[in-house]
Structure 1
Amino acid sequence: MESPKIDYIQSKDNKTIKHIISLQQRKYRQKFGEYTVEGIRAVTDIGKKDCLRSILIRESKRSELEPLVQKGFTVSSVYVVQDPIFDKIEHSVNGQGILGIAKKCVNDLHSLIVEDGLYVALDGVQDPGNLGTIIRTAVAAGAKGIFLLKGTVDPYNEKCVRSTMSALCNIPIFEDVTLSEFYDFIKDNTIQTYVTSLENAKPYHTISYPKRTMIILGNEGNGVSREIIEMCDQAITIPMYGDIESLNVSIAAALCMYKVREQI
């Protein structure tokens, strides 16, 4: 495969730099269907999935990083960027001097082929680090899909992308799912739903989970909405054996997901 031509960027007003800066906002990520990834591992992993559109390299790291783009990635362009300009687009504190523009993985809820297994839904999770960790854990647990109800943080937020450790393209993720879409999906596909809530709840480790199970977790402060709770088959809770009110939502998600996986 022929290596892409390498261009040089030496102006902060360059259209590619302006485009990357615009992708810091959700509305532009949605408009262009793109997001950014940083670091050697993330760029390499996303590149292997043919999801990269462009690669940018810090000028002072060119000799170290340029061989990376010779690995046969299908990208339309590669840029070497002057260090002061690269500083404006790199967010990692100890960045590795490489950034990729990647295309979003767009999934259609109605085209998902539903099979037995674990599914995860999130209702209003706000911290991008929490969401990224949950996505990464869901991939590790072999979940079949993640459903982000309206009001949940954008999975392509820069902090979320970093927390996923390149897992975004490894699982179907459905964004901005409405209550009606969610209700129709779980009923039409006979998925048993288990929501983390204290109300009429059973300890999560005492449940016999069926072959087609969905775990639902909510906002860090307010939990799952009343509308979602009323749709679900059973509330579950994680016992607190010490003097603490609750667990971080990403930890709770991991415990629940792996308990389900033990059984199905």
Structure 2
Amino acid sequence: MRKWSMQELGRKSIADFKEAPKTPLVVVLDNIRSMHNVGSVFRTADSFLVEKMYLCGYTPQPPHRDINKTALGATETVAWEYTATTVEAVQILQAQGFKVYAVEQAEGAIYLDQFDPLAIHSSTDQGLSGAPKIAIVMGNEVEGVADEVLDICDGCIEIPQLGSKHSLNISVAAGIIIWAITERIVLK
């Protein structure tokens, strides 16, 4: 076995990335403290051609060397926007026809292994590609998704955990969720 070379990987240029069809998924960061977490989520969003990211509240924004350290250039490829509050971002997305899900351990949450975006969305919730328009809200490292945001989300997705901590780093949780949704709506 041998590793693929950079040329064999077929990496997209910034221009090619911007022109490529996107996964109809938006990632909303709710008051994330760590620039490394923000950069890591940008990098994951780039990996799966996520449509856009919203950076909300005091979530750090590019350009910043600590974000770039983990993003490895993904802040140049992934579209992003800042809003003063996460509530504002959720309302914008809902007005555009997105179903918005908080990623949180909460009463009534759907376990990720049971979350089927194709089965739970009607045709009016779908983008031009026929895939559902979904946004996920990733919460603060300590407090999680803010209560006022949970109150207006269309649902909640929980990552089942088997250990004693029942806590994942936000960048790890984002990677799990983004992969699962991409796999279910794009790679099906």
TM over 0.5, yes or no?
yes
- 1:49 and 1:241 map into 2 onto residues whose CA distance is 39
1:125 is displaced (CA, Å) by: 0.7
Provide the residue aligned with 2:111 in structure 1.
203
- 1:180 and 1:256 map into 2 onto residues whose CA distance is 21
Provide the residue aligned with 2:69 in structure 1.
162
1:214 is displaced (CA, Å) by: 0.7
Structure 1 residue ranges without an equivalent (≥5): 1-47, 51-114
Indicate conservation of the 8 Å contact 1:195/1:229, yes or no: yes
- Identify if the C-alpha distance between structure 1 residues 179 and 49 changes in structure 2 by more than 3 Å, giving closer, same or farther: closer
Indicate conservation of the 8 Å contact 1:217/1:253, yes or no: yes
Q: Which of 128, 142, 152 is equivalent to 2:59?
A: 152
1:187 is displaced (CA, Å) by: 2.2
1:152 is displaced (CA, Å) by: 1.0
- 2:55 and 2:180 map into 1 onto residues whose CA distance is 21
Provide the residue aligned with 2:180 in structure 1.
259
Deviations 1:44-65 (A, max 9, x none): xxxx869xxxxxxxxxxxxxxx
Structure scoring higher RCO (CA < 8 A, sep ≥ 6) equals 2
SS at match of 2:171: helix
Provide the residue aligned with 1:185 in structure 2.
92
Number of residue pairs the alignment of both structures matches: 153
Structure with the higher strand share, 1 or 2: 1
Scaled by the length of structure 1, the TM-score of the pair is 0.54
> What pairs up with 1:96-245 in 2 under 5 angstroms?
117-179=24-86, 181-200=88-107, 201-210=109-118, 211-245=132-166
SS at match of 1:231: coil
1:153 is displaced (CA, Å) by: 1.8
1:156 is displaced (CA, Å) by: 2.2
- Identify if the C-alpha distance between structure 1 residues 245 and 180 changes in structure 2 by more than 3 Å, giving closer, same or farther: closer
- 1:169 and 1:116 map into 2 onto residues whose CA distance is 17
> What pairs up with 1:73-92 in 2 under 5 angstroms?
none
Structure 2 residue ranges without an equivalent (≥5): 1-12, 16-21, 119-131
Deviations 1:81-131 (A, max 9, x none): xxxxxxxxxxxxxxxxxxxxxxxxxxxxxxxxxx87111001011111111
Q: CA RMSD in A?
A: 2.0
- 2:179 and 2:84 map into 1 onto residues whose CA distance is 24
- 1:190 and 1:245 map into 2 onto residues whose CA distance is 32
Deviations 1:156-186 (A, max 9, x none): 2211111100111101111234345324312
Radius of gyration: which is bigger? 1
- 1:184 and 1:196 map into 2 onto residues whose CA distance is 17
SS at match of 1:156: coil
SS at match of 2:151: helix
Amino acid at match of 1:173: W
